[in-house]
Structure formats: structure tokens, C-alpha cells
A and B are shown apart, each in its own frame.
Chain A
Amino acid sequence: MTLQTSATAPSIPRAVIGVIVNNALVLALITVFAIFSLASPTFLTIANLQSILVNNFTLLAIVAIAMTFAVSVGGIDLSVGTAVDFASFAFVSLVLAGQPVAVAALAGLGAGAAVGAFNAVLISGIGISPFLATLGTLFIGRSIQQLLTNGGNPVYLPPSGIPEAFRFLGRGAIAGIPVPLILAAITILGATVILTRARFGRVALAIGIQTSVVRYSGIAARAHVAVAFILAGLIAAVAGLILSATVTVYIPSSGSAFLLNAIGATFIGTTLSRLGRPNIPGTVLGVLLLGIVANGLLLTGLNFYWQQVGTGLLIFAVLALSFITRRKASA
């Protein structure tokens, strides 16, 4: 069936299809953006666009970048939420115990990296598939958090005992730009440099495409996979710090809320990119797409429950359209 259409199709639409396939994600973003701009007068205001970035973008972008590192070596990290939670727990508990914010923040990053290191041992050391290894970590992490909090009680910071630096991290701004957004931007830039400019990134992507070739070229593939998972834990920990600094509380297992959206954004970015490889710009655009859809549907005044249906339908439509055009183009 596909053969026939491609044989009879004139060459110009074919070129058009090629353009669509190569820029699927950007086109999807523009379309969704245009639709919401027309549907709601408040969508295209500075205040709202800023709200998208702060509320719908920052945290998910960081977690999705963590996920992208795991996906770049051909894996997946179901425990990114666990790293978010562990970082948040260490951060809030130490600040509550009166430790300096910098020390607490470092401990938080360390806790996230430790989750990543645990995954690295399972995946690179024992050789368990990343999906199962990180699934195990997710379950164990859930139990550990409940044990640490007497069955799942949140850890609150008393409003009077919040250090200035802690508040600044969550709600502060430099030159009018919210600190969390700046941290997200730094993470995006850093991750882009690591994945595209550093040798590590090239090896990581090569492992994701063809592990055996990398191994035969005498490169320590396992060590690179291990580093990718530790980086994933570390980056997710940044989101954990921002999350707890924003809400000034640690709620056990709250990080798991990011998991499915992070997977969605990363794989949307991967599959809709030109080469079909994990890449930071793709992930970021994927997060933006999810954020714009969530914000736009909110503005349309649709019932809250219908918003979830709408989000699902829109993502589904984007995926279906891009996969179908891609198939047409390659046929």
C-alpha cells in the first residue's frame, strides 16, 4: 500500500514531507503555539509565557535531561524520580538540622548521584538491563523513603526557620530571571556541551546506537554507561533541590510524578529528531511541547479532568502524525 503511494506521488510533496519529517518537533510546537494563541487571548502574554517557563518547564526539563543521558547510552532510567526524592530529602533534612545551605545542597547532589551509582553498579557491574535495574531501584527507593519518614510523613521546614539562601534557590531572581530557570538553562547548556562537544557524549551516543562496535574499538563501554547513569542521578538531584526549595517541604515519592512525562519528552525529542537519536534540544522542545499543551488547555477554561484527556490526545496526535509522515518519507 505504502509502496504504491510513494511510486505515484509527485516529487514536490515528497520534498515537503522531507522538510516536515526533519523538523517535526519544531512544526508541532509552532502549530500548538498558534492554536492556543488564537484560542485564548491571555496565552500570548509575557506573563503567561513566563508562567509556562517557571511552572511547566523548569523542573521537568531538568529531569528529562537526566533521562536523556540514560537514553543516550541505549538505556532508560525509571528511578529519576527516586534521585529527585533522595536529593530533596537530604537537602531538607540537613537544612532542618541547622546545617549550612551549601553543605545541605552538596549532600543532596551526592544523594542523587548515589542513586545513579547504585544503578551503575547494577547495569555496568552485574549487567542487568537498565529498565529492570532502575525499576528495582525505584521500588527499593520507595521503601527506603517510607522507612526514613515513619511511613511517609512529609518533612516540613518551619516558616521561621528557612534560611535566606534556601528561599533564594526556590523563589529568588537574578536580574528579574527566576533562579530555577537560570539553573535549568545552565543544566541545558552543560548537558548539550557534554553530549555534543565532549568525547564522552560522542561515545555515549555511539553506545546507544551500537554497543558492540564501541566495545570492539577498545573503548570501555561499560564505564561510559556507568558515568551516564551517575550523571542522570546527579542532574535529577538538581531538580530535587529546586523542588524542595520552592515548596519548602519534602514529600516522600513526590518525584515519581515526573517519571512518565520525562520519558515522554525524551522519547518525543528522540523520535522526532532528524536522526532519531537522543539529543538535548529535542528533549527540551519535548518538554516545551508538554508544557505549552498543559498551560494552553488550562487557559481554555476546560474542565480540569478534560485537560488531561486533551493533553493525551494532543501528544497522541503529534506522535501519530510524525510517525506516519516518517514512514511515508522512508517508503
Chain B
Amino acid sequence: MSVDIQLAPVIHFEPGAQSFKPSRGGNLAASALRAGSLLAFVAILFVFSLTAPYFLSVGNIGNVLGQSAISGILAIGLTVVLIAGGSNVVTGGIDLSLAANMGLSAAVYATTVQLGYGDAAAVAAALVTGFLIGVVNAAAVVGAGIVPLLATLAVMNIVAGLELVLTQNTVIPASTPLLTALSSSGPLGIPALAYVLLVFTLIAAAIVQYTPAGLRLYAVGEFPDAARAAGLPVRRLVASAFIASGLCGGFAGVLSVSNLSGSTTGSGEMLLPVVVTALLGSVFSRRLVPTVIGTLLSTLFVGFLVNGFQLLNISSVLVSGVQGLLILLVVSATTLLRRQEA
């Protein structure tokens, strides 16, 4: 019960107000870290904007948002699984099939378009693909009781194989009115994908952070025994988290087709960056738990870093290294602060 009470007043966009009023000693470290990571975010933006004047222009920010849309939506899908599955990555919530899911959904979308169907049918086909992958994951984890890491690993192999079967490892071009609209610019000259990401995040955050079902996901993930004792439908909630994640994969698949004007191979490369983004996201939350807005912030953090590097002509070779260092820095800070707190 206390779980819900603690979780209810999660307010995301008032870092200052939060960090100056630590209600308990334990919250101090968390607030410091959260304020620290937001500060680091702002500092990086500041440094880049000084060195690359174009960096903080509306156009560039829009570009970063647009380029982050696909990974952001995948990371939000993974966040839902992390919330419902708990923090232990090996035995708890993880969905390794997300990137492959995006690849297959994109291939299904492009193939449906090639077969002469319209946008509505193609989008539906892609979403159904993602949904079905989510259902298989849910059945494997909740029904058969397979550890999520193993279950989604096997599903990832199946899905990646199906994508190869469908595409014969080639690019399937597609151009439809929807794809044209998605790859065009919206108001303020900002890419349409940027708006898609923002709207998607708001809807997902509203569902996960502010509905009873969303709050129950946290209860199930953090205290499964307590949740079960309180009469929550634990199995159904975990299953729905995997299905939601599958749907995110399907949706990201459609967007990826618009981004590359066709389905392309190599979606598996997205997997680890998405895992990193989703895990980093918890640093941007008040209680250091995965949240949808936190994941959006961490997606943008990584997006701005990559973009700033490009503007400064720093070799793209360093991007993955900096991402790695970032994880280690953030996580060491978290661990050390937690230790002080204890």
C-alpha cells in the first residue's frame, strides 16, 4: 500500500523545487544525483552551444529530437518492461527482442506497401507484428515461466530470422503519403518525427505515471510478493508490459521506414544502445527508478551528445566510448551515493 502512496506524487519537471526540500535524509543523495545529472545535461548543452553556435538553434534541437524518435520510443517500451520486471536485469525485466521487433515490423510494413496495400493496412500490419511478438514474450515469461533474459533472447533470434526470411537481407523500399508526412518538417521547421516522439512520450508518461494500472506496474516490479499479497493481477500486469513493449517495437518499425525510406537490415545494432538509454533513464527520476520522462531525457542526452560531436567534428568513433563512460560515471555516482545513504 505504501508503495502507491510514495509513487503517486512523482513530479518531473521541477528539479529545483524537489532538490531543495529533501523530506527525508535518504532522499538527499537521490536528489543530489538527479540534480547533478540534470546539471551535467545542461552543462553539456552549454559547452556545445559555446563551441558550436548552431547547436542551440531551434532547427538543430528539432533535428536531435527527430533523430532520437526511434531509439526513444524503443527505450520507452523497454522502460515499461523494466518497471514491471524489477531492477535485476538478469532475472527481472528485460526485452532483448525489441530491436529485432522493430526490424521485422519495418519489413512487414514495407512489404505490405509493396503488395499494394494502403498506409492504414500497412501500419496495422506492423503494429500487429509488434503486438504478436509482445504476446509471445508475455506467454514465454508469464505462461511458461522462462527467465525474461532467455525468453526474449530466443524470441530475438526467431524474429531476426523472420526478418531475414521476409527481406532476403535486402532493402525493401517504400514510399507512402504517411512516410512522406513523417519525414517532412512540421511547424517551426522541426521534423515531424520530433513531434511524434514528444506526443508519444506524453501519452506513455500519462499512462505509466498517472493511471492506477501504471502505478501497479511499479508495485509489481519492486515488491512482487507484496503486490501479490495485495491482490494485484501480477501475471497479467507483467504480460501487458511485454505486450506494450512489443507494440512500441511495431510503432518504431513504422517510423524507421520513414527515416530510411525503406526497411533496412541491421536493426539488431540498436539493441544495446537502447538498453543503455533505458537503464540510464532512471538517473533522471526522483527516486532513481525507471520512468518514461526519465527515459526521454536520457534519450535526448545521448542524442545531443552525438549531435554535438558531429557539429564539433569530433570523430564518431568516440561516440560509443563516451556512451560507455557516461554509463559508468552515472552508475558509479549512483552506487557511491547509495552507499553513503546506507
Are A and B a genuine interacting pair, yes or no? yes
Confirm or deny: B176 has a beta carbon within 8 angstroms of a beta carbon on chain A: no
Confirm or deny: A33 has a beta carbon within 8 angstroms of a beta carbon on chain B: no
Within A268-318, which residues are at the interface with B (CB < 8 Å)? Answer: 268, 271, 303-313, 315-316
Q: Tell whether A139 pairs with B140 under 8 Å between CB atoms, given A133-B328, A319-B151.
A: no
In the complex, A267 Cα to B94 Cα: how many Å?
15
Interface stretch, picked from A43-51, A233-241, A243-251, A320-328, is A320-328
Chain B neighbourhood of A128, CB < 8 A: 328, 331-332, 335
Chain B neighbourhood of A76, CB < 8 A: 89-90
Chain B neighbourhood of A271, CB < 8 A: 147, 150
Within B300-328, which residues are at the interface with A (CB < 8 Å)? Answer: 315, 317-325, 327-328
Chain B neighbourhood of A323, CB < 8 A: 144-146
In the complex, A150 Cα to B199 Cα: how many Å?
41
Chain A neighbourhood of B159, CB < 8 A: 312
Q: Tell whether A306 pairs with B146 under 8 Å between CB atoms, given A136-B327, A144-B321, A312-B155.
A: no
Majority secondary structure, A binding face = helix
Are A136 and B328 interface neighbours, CB within 8 A?
A: yes
Confirm or deny: B226 has a beta carbon within 8 angstroms of a beta carbon on chain A: no
Are A136 and B325 interface neighbours, CB within 8 A?
A: yes
In the complex, A133 Cα to B279 Cα: how many Å?
12
Confirm or deny: A186 has a beta carbon within 8 angstroms of a beta carbon on chain B: no
Chain B neighbourhood of A137, CB < 8 A: 324
Q: Tell whether A139 pairs with B339 under 8 Å between CB atoms, given A129-B89, A131-B89, A319-B154.
A: no
Q: Tell whether A126 pairs with B332 under 8 Å between CB atoms, given A147-B317, A267-B149, A271-B150.
A: yes
Complex partner residue of A129 from B145, B319, B321, B331, CB under 8 angstroms: B331
Chain B neighbourhood of A126, CB < 8 A: 332, 335-336
Are A140 and B149 interface neighbours, CB within 8 A?
A: no
Chain A neighbourhood of B151, CB < 8 A: 316, 319
Confirm or deny: B275 has a beta carbon within 8 angstroms of a beta carbon on chain A: yes
Chain A neighbourhood of B158, CB < 8 A: 309, 312-313, 316
Confirm or deny: A263 has a beta carbon within 8 angstroms of a beta carbon on chain B: yes
Complex partner residue of A263 from B149, B275, B321, B323, CB under 8 angstroms: B149
Are A309 and B165 interface neighbours, CB within 8 A?
A: yes
Are A320 and B335 interface neighbours, CB within 8 A?
A: no
Are B144 and A143 interface neighbours, CB within 8 A?
A: no
Beta-carbon nearest neighbor of B167 in chain A: A305
A262 to chain B, nearest CB (A): 11
B135 to chain A, nearest CB (A): 14
Q: How many residues of A contact B (CB 8 A)?
A: 49
Are A139 and B317 interface neighbours, CB within 8 A?
A: no
Confirm or deny: B32 has a beta carbon within 8 angstroms of a beta carbon on chain A: no
Q: Residues 127-154 of chain B: 1 if any A CB is under 8 Å from the residue's CB, otherwise 0?
A: 0000000000000100011110111011
In the complex, A310 Cα to B162 Cα: how many Å?
10
Are B149 and A312 interface neighbours, CB within 8 A?
A: no
Q: Tell whether A136 pairs with B165 under 8 Å between CB atoms, given A142-B321, A267-B150, A308-B157.
A: no
Are A308 and B323 interface neighbours, CB within 8 A?
A: no
Confirm or deny: A264 has a beta carbon within 8 angstroms of a beta carbon on chain B: yes
Confirm or deny: A100 has a beta carbon within 8 angstroms of a beta carbon on chain B: no
Are B168 and A305 interface neighbours, CB within 8 A?
A: yes
In the complex, A122 Cα to B325 Cα: how many Å?
12
Beta-carbon nearest neighbor of A79 in chain B: B324
Beta-carbon nearest neighbor of B96 in chain A: A260
Beta-carbon nearest neighbor of A75 in chain B: B90
Beta-carbon nearest neighbor of B90 in chain A: A76
Within B149-191, which residues are at the interface with A (CB < 8 Å)? Answer: 149-151, 153-162, 164-165, 168-169
Are A315 and B339 interface neighbours, CB within 8 A?
A: no
Complex partner residue of A135 from B275, B332, B336, CB under 8 angstroms: B275
A30 to chain B, nearest CB (A): 20
Are A138 and B272 interface neighbours, CB within 8 A?
A: yes
Are A308 and B144 interface neighbours, CB within 8 A?
A: no
In the complex, A307 Cα to B160 Cα: how many Å?
11
Beta-carbon nearest neighbor of A71 in chain B: B90
Q: Residues 130-163 of chain A: 1 if any B CB is under 8 Å from the residue's CB, otherwise 0?
A: 0111011111111110110001100000000000
In the complex, A316 Cα to B161 Cα: how many Å?
13
Within B87-131, which residues are at the interface with A (CB < 8 Å)? Answer: 89-90, 96
Confirm or deny: A127 has a beta carbon within 8 angstroms of a beta carbon on chain B: yes
Are B320 and A143 interface neighbours, CB within 8 A?
A: yes
Chain A neighbourhood of B272, CB < 8 A: 78, 135, 138-139
Are B327 and A139 interface neighbours, CB within 8 A?
A: yes
Confirm or deny: B198 has a beta carbon within 8 angstroms of a beta carbon on chain A: no
Complex partner residue of B90 from A131, A305, A327, CB under 8 angstroms: A131
Beta-carbon nearest neighbor of A319 in chain B: B146
Confirm or deny: B276 has a beta carbon within 8 angstroms of a beta carbon on chain A: yes
Are B331 and A136 interface neighbours, CB within 8 A?
A: yes
A277 to chain B, nearest CB (A): 14
Nearest 10 CB-CB pairings of A with B: A143-B321, A139-B324, A308-B161, A312-B157, A312-B158, A309-B161, A140-B324, A305-B164, A136-B328, A316-B154
Binding site for B on A (CB under 8 A): 76, 78, 122, 126-129, 131-133, 135-144, 146-147, 151-152, 260, 263-264, 267-268, 271, 303-313, 315-316, 319-320, 323-324, 326-327
10 contacts between A and B (CB under 8 A): A122-B328, A128-B332, A132-B327, A151-B317, A305-B168, A306-B161, A307-B161, A312-B155, A312-B159, A319-B150
Binding site for A on B (CB under 8 A): 89-90, 96, 140, 144-147, 149-151, 153-162, 164-165, 168-169, 272, 275-276, 279, 315, 317-325, 327-328, 331-332, 335-336, 339
19 extra interchain contacts, Cβ-Cβ under 8 A, other than A305-B165, A316-B140? A76-B90, A129-B331, A131-B90, A132-B328, A135-B279, A136-B328, A137-B324, A139-B272, A143-B321, A267-B149, A303-B165, A308-B157, A308-B160, A308-B164, A309-B161, A312-B155, A319-B146, A319-B151, A324-B145
